[in-house]
Structure 1
Amino acid sequence: MILFALPNKGRISEPVMKILEKAGLKITIQGRSLFANTVDKDIKVMFARARDIPEFVADGVADIGVTGYDLVLERGVENKVEELLDFGFGFARLVLAVPEDSNINNLDDIKEGMRVATEFPHLTKKFFEKFNKNVEIIELSGATEIAPFIGIADIISDLTSTGTTLKLNKLREIAEIVKSTTRLIANKESLKDKKKKEKIEQVVLAIKSALYAEKKRLIMMNAPEDKVEDIKKIIPGMSGPTVAKVLSDNGMVAIQVVVDEKDIFSLVPKLHQLGARDILVLPIERIL
């Protein structure tokens, strides 16, 4: 059996659960339990803080886990775990920011002994060491944005995705420490176990198929047979469209093809102009 550590809350928890559902790894949660079963009797889930998951996986408490790349680096376990998959969402950046009216505009303006408030002391310290900056790191467990305004710090090191929160709190960015997305990581010893590795690879394949399918759509339509070649030119699909005769409608064929979601808006009018009708655009759960 493998133990799969998942975030119990936070910004990446819900999208991760949705992807696992699409991947077919249905999780049965009972109340506020820290553990849950899945449709696979050999995969059990443990819910934990995203911040703790990197260490749980590195220490072998869990075989695999989902967390932010920033947290893997903050815990200092990037060389102790194996990264299996980048989900491509949960994007955020750890940045340095100061009040809008601060005299600090870049790294050169940061003087020795200045105070930096953060929930990421390890990453922040390493960043300043790289630039030979001797600053005082003040670790906070939340509400980092307020630190400069109550005299706790001159600078903050905090996560941002759009920059909106910084602006709302009258802060401006002066430097970027690291970019982060949601990752699937594994315990290196677990990957050495043949049976565990096989099960972990099944999980990776299932998630990859769900992530890939999210960006695709299935188009189904009826179209004039003499327009098939023209239609193929605008929707080549993954391996070309599937074409079948429509027995009840003379001169028409049924076409289905998988295309990128981003192309749907421009494709449908073109198909309609070529005589396609009964056009259906459907979501896809998984693509292998």
Structure 2
Amino acid sequence: MQQLRFGIPKGSLEEATIDLFGQAGWKISGRSRNYFPAIDDDEMTCALVRSQEMGPTVASGALDCGLTGLDWVMETEADVETVCDLVYSRASDKPARWVLIVDRESPIKGVEDLQGKKVVTELVGFTKRYLAERGIEAKVDFSWGATEGKVVQGLADAAIEITETGSTIRAHGLRIVCDLLHTHTVLIANKEALKDPFKKNKIEQVALLLTAALAARHKVLLKMNAPVAKLDAIVAVLPALNSPTVNPLTDEKWVAVETVVDRDEVRELIPKLRANGAEGILELDIRKLC
């Protein structure tokens, strides 16, 4: 039996990825320290690989595809195909940012001020290319963890670090100068694997369902009963994906209405719907949205 060899990012994205697969319809399980977790699909096998190593591992053919950050694909310049974008993380479903940070009192105001300075980062290859493209000569050193601390301690003039909110950076008395790269999770595939009909079809299945699961996280299904006489007013306040579904009830004076809306709009919508005559309003979670 053919099997798709899939890479699960080990580390900060691991739990979020397993949760996303669960929502998409696959159960991934494994004991602690097990680098080959089980998946309830006979057509797939999984391996845990660090995000930083996923690109080269997939490019080499050791895995057919996997999930990693766009930043690490760019860092390693891995020769892989990006199948789809999947914006999710452990903390939130928002893109992360690689930012230039300095001490709050530093005279550095822009990237151009890094000329002749020392910069520390985990994203060494990308940073060197970024600066070289702008004609800036700076010493770029690799930093594995505690990157911000090196700036605080005066061991480096600046750092390139990843953040989502910037709150930790500010708490350490540091300042964000500018963004260098916005990154998110991507599904990457080995180019030869995509030439295999079975693997290509399986990769596309995974991409479709993971994308559908993520899309559903930001939407809910609203269902309600509406008086026919007030239907136009009720429909007018519904921001439907296309148009709401309206079905007759046994009482000809009433209809059932349902539609998909943004999750964060519900708290404003329900009072408006009630004020316009809707009754029996239900809010339901959605597992997938294609």
TM-score of the aligned structures, taking structure 2 as reference length: 0.90
C-alpha separation in 1, matches of 2:176 and 2:233: 51
Secondary structure of 1:34's aligned partner:
coil
Alignment of 1:198-277 (within 5 A): 198-235=201-238, 237-247=240-250, 251-277=253-279
Match 2:134 to one of 131, 135, 151: 131
Q: Is this contact kept in 1: 2:234–2:277, CA < 8 A?
A: no
C-alpha separation in 2, matches of 1:261 and 1:286: 14
Match status 1:101 vs 2:102: no
Residue of structure 2 in register with 1:57 after alignment: 58
Match status 1:188 vs 2:186: no
Q: Is this contact kept in 2: 1:37–1:43, CA < 8 A?
A: no
Specify whether residues 52 and 276 from structure 1 end up closer, same or farther in structure 2 by C-alpha distance, changes over 3 A only.
same
C-alpha separation in 2, matches of 1:210 and 1:285: 6
What's the CA shift for 1:162? Answer: 1.4
What's the CA shift for 1:151? Answer: 4.0
Secondary structure of 2:37's aligned partner:
strand
What's the CA shift for 1:109? Answer: 2.8
C-alpha separation in 1, matches of 2:139 and 2:245: 64
Q: What is the RMSD of the two structures over their aligned residues, measured on CA atoms?
A: 1.9
What's the CA shift for 1:85? Answer: 1.5
Alignment of 1:74-113 (within 5 A): 74-77=75-78, 80-90=79-89, 91-112=95-116
Q: Letter of the 1:21 partner, please give it.
A: G
Structure 2 residue ranges without an equivalent (≥5): 90-94
Q: Letter of the 1:66 partner, please give it.
A: L
Match status 1:171 vs 2:174: yes
What's the CA shift for 1:177? Answer: 2.1
Residue of structure 1 in register with 2:8 after alignment: 6
C-alpha separation in 2, matches of 1:70 and 1:181: 8
How many residues of Structure 1 are paired with residues of Structure 2 in the alignment?
283
How many percent identity over aligned positions? 35
Specify whether residues 175 and 231 from structure 1 end up closer, same or farther in structure 2 by C-alpha distance, changes over 3 A only.
closer
Q: Which moved more, 1:22-31 or 1:181-190?
A: 22-31
TM-score of the aligned structures, taking structure 1 as reference length: 0.91
Specify whether residues 158 and 238 from structure 1 end up closer, same or farther in structure 2 by C-alpha distance, changes over 3 A only.
closer
1:90-120 CA distance string (max 9 Å, x none) = 42222222111222222333332x2111111
Residue of structure 1 in register with 2:24 after alignment: 23
